[in-house]
Structure 1
Amino acid sequence: MAYLVAEAGLSPQKILSMTFTNKAAREMVQRAETLLGDVVERSGTIPRHWIGTFHANCARMLRTHARLLHYTPNFTITDMDDRLKIIKELIALHGYRHLDKTGRVKEEISHAKNNFLDAEDLARMAAAKGDPAYLELSELYRAYNSYLLKNNTMDFDDLIVNMVKLLYLDEEVRSFWQQRFDYIMVDEFQDTNKSQYLLLKMLMRPGGVNLTMVGDDDQSIYAFRGANVENILRFERDFPSARMIVLGINYRSTPAIIEAAYHLIGHNKERHTKDVKAHNPEGELITYFDSLDAREEAELIAAEIFENRISRQVPYHDQAVLCRTNTQMRTFEEVFREKSIPYKLIGGYSFFDRKEIKDVLSYLKLIHNPSDNLSFLRTINFPKRGIGPKTMEDVMKAAVAHNLSFFDAV
């Protein structure tokens, strides 16, 4: 990117850079600004760059064309917690008897959107399976999308799905965005799902866009989130003129770790073969042990940490324990407390999931989008105003009867 701007004279507005996390996007911006010192010095920043996550870039595009999808440009974005509340409310409202696990239903809806499936697709699948739960899921999916549209809000999956729909259905929109970018760059390509892959293909201007994907099929670990490793495996088939460049030097790990990792992943038949060497010198061998239960595992690791501290003079703050899930941390906390080993827990309860923060955000959402009924319900009695369930029921009935938002009905 820096080369294209500084050496080739390309405008940053003509380069679309996609990644998966806000942290990665911020790092990309910082690195680009460091490399583009002269450009940044003249303008203060990279002028109107398009560096961001898939969701952020799509949200930015969608606000330009929101009315084509019957949204307003100030649509809000529903978070995970609110999605669960909407689904729970709809299950109760429609009396679905086969959909009892709200979290699982949310995952199924997200999976459908990640694979670019609509309610009709799910209905056909339900008919083929003869599964009443799947039929209810297809009906709930339709009701859920209608709820979001009526409340002028989208969930995170919609940001990509709706942009793909616009590009597919509206030739003028498709032409606008295809002409906008000359270069498209994607980081962590192995983590893309079907909807994201379709988005990239729809943004490609026939014969006129340079597409660069950076990824490693051996690092595809997010299938449970909808990632499809087949996207990177078939890339050369979909783009025959593509050239693959293998980065064969690993600058992070030791030879022992590289050898063990590739010996293990080598059993995977669906992958690109690579010859990767470590730049670092030989390090310690990997120690492996098999514990009987979580308690024994935590005690063994605690003993190792203590031994490192006493015998090898390794400070506690230079030692880390990585857990696959947050629930595993509790056993480690118990053992560390018992053995007086100081620790700092990272990745626990999110600041933005706290009730008081969500309440404040709901006020801001309601100010921005008065049609957001979910934010209205969250704020109407915070702080307490003496508005009871019967009053709220009357407000909701009046809103439905007159096709108003709850806010307007009040």
Structure 2
Amino acid sequence: MPYRNLTSEQMEAVIYNNNMLLSACPGSGKTRTLVSKLYHIIDHSDDLSIGKRKIIAITYTNIAADTIKDRLLSFGVESKSLWVGTIHSLCLQWIINPNINLVPRLCGGFTVIDEHERDAKISELKEVYDFGFFDSIDTSLTQDYKPRYPAGTKSHNLVTDYHKYLADNNYIDFDLILNISYRLLQSNPKLCKRLSRLFYHILVDEYQDTSEIQYEILKLIVIRKHTKITLIGDKEQAIYTGLGAIVKDKNELE
């Protein structure tokens, strides 16, 4: 049974039907609570008048997404209303692919670059610009599609060459998936409204690993007031701050 061994506080979180921040320490059953909440929403979909709307669960890794799906399947849940995956998968499936005609760069087709090829290209460029193998270079662009380094610096030139390589080969990387999705939402209020009406509830697992642009993407959807959001995690377990993750407290999230 999905509610077995839940504490009263966990059960309260499961049945609570509004925006929520759920923070708890390691080993306290956050994933079990998340899965139980997904089960509860699906099990009460008629009472909640969900209809053809989607329940979205965002995880940090594909492995975590598979774990959630497997647990729900063990409870006999396989609903067309449920979508589980990473935020990059969400952006590709629900934002970029249905609106590819609005992104000139992608209209001729695109491929998400393989991580091994990406790393090899960056290593090659580090040699060209006389960086050490272990030197950290942030290849992500600002929301205006510009390198994060001052013009004329070696870092700026390396990032520029890297993105030219992506464009020449019809590639995009994980950071560009987020950039393109944000720009699409920001410039298309009707798209934000449509997604808000489509997504009944968004549940974010390990929210402390969320980056600023990911928060902004979620904000542009949730702010329309048609979508509920649940954020689950533990700010003390933030291990990806070096990769851009930002831990927000309750007031900042509100």
TM-score w.r.t. the length of structure 1 is: 0.46
1:16 matched to 2:56: yes
Structure 1 pair 160–221 and aligned structure 2 pair: CA distance change class (3 A): same
Q: What residue identity is the alignment partner of 1:51?
A: V
**1:44-73 deviation per Cα after TM superposition (whole angstroms, max 9, x unaligned):** x32163211112222223222233222148
Distance 1:215 1:19 in 2: 11
Q: Distance in 1 between matches of 2:70 and 2:39?
A: 11
Matched, 1:104 2:135: yes
Alpha-carbon distance in structure 1 between the residues aligned to 2:187 and 2:85: 25
- 1:314-333 to structure 2, matched below 5 A, reads none
Q: Distance in 2 between matches of 1:67 and 1:145?
A: 21
Take 2:215 and 2:226, find their aligned partners in 1: how far apart are those partners? 18
Q: 1:218 to 1:169 in 2, by over 3 A?
A: same
Question: What CA distance in whole angstroms lies between the structure 2 residues aligned with 1:146 and 1:154?
Answer: 11
1:214 to 214, 228, 232: 232
Q: Which has the higher strand share?
A: 2
Quote the offset at 1:164 in angstroms.
1.3
Equivalence for 2:252: 237
Partner of 1:26: 66
- Runs of 4+ in structure 1 deviating by more than 6 angstroms, as ranges, are none
| Selected match of 2:97 from 63, 79, 83 | 63
Tell me which amino acid in the other structure corresponds to 1:55.
Answer: H
RMSD, matched Cα: 2.7
Which of 165, 169, 176 is the matching residue for 1:147?
Answer: 165
Cα separation, partners in 2 of 1:29 and 1:80, compared to 1, 3 Å: same
Does residue 146 of structure 2 align to residue 119 of structure 1?
yes
Could you give the per-residue CA deviations for residues 189-235 of structure 1, whole angstroms, max 9, x where no partner exists? 01111121111112214222211000111111222222222x2x2x4
The answer for the alignment partner of 2:41 in structure 1 is 4
Aligned residues: 212
1:16–1:183: 8 Å Cα contact kept in structure 2?
yes
Equivalent residue number for residue 201 of structure 1: 219
Q: Which has the higher contact order (CA 8 A, sep 6+)?
A: 2
Q: CA deviation at 1:19?
A: 0.6
User: SS where residue 25 of structure 1 aligns?
Assistant: helix
Of Structure 1 and Structure 2, which has the larger fraction of its residues in helix? 1
Q: What are structure 2's unaligned runs of at least 5 residues? A: 1-37
Whichever residue aligns with residue 54 of structure 1, its letter is I
Matching of residues 8-407 of structure 1 within 5 Å: 8-9=45-46, 10-11=50-51, 13-35=53-75, 37=76, 40=77, 45-47=78-80, 49-61=82-94, 62-69=96-103, 70-72=105-107, 74-90=109-125, 96=129, 99-101=130-132, 104-105=135-136, 107-109=137-139, 112-113=140-141, 116=143, 118-119=145-146, 121-123=148-150, 135-229=153-247, 231=248, 233=249, 235-239=250-254
TM-score normalized by the length of structure 2: 0.71
Percent identity (aligned): 27
Distance of 2:99 and 2:108 partners within structure 1: 8
Structure ID, larger Rg:
1
List runs of 5+ in structure 1 lacking aligned partners: 127-131, 240-410
Alpha-carbon offset, residue 175 of structure 1: 2.8
Letter of the 1:119 partner, please give it.
K
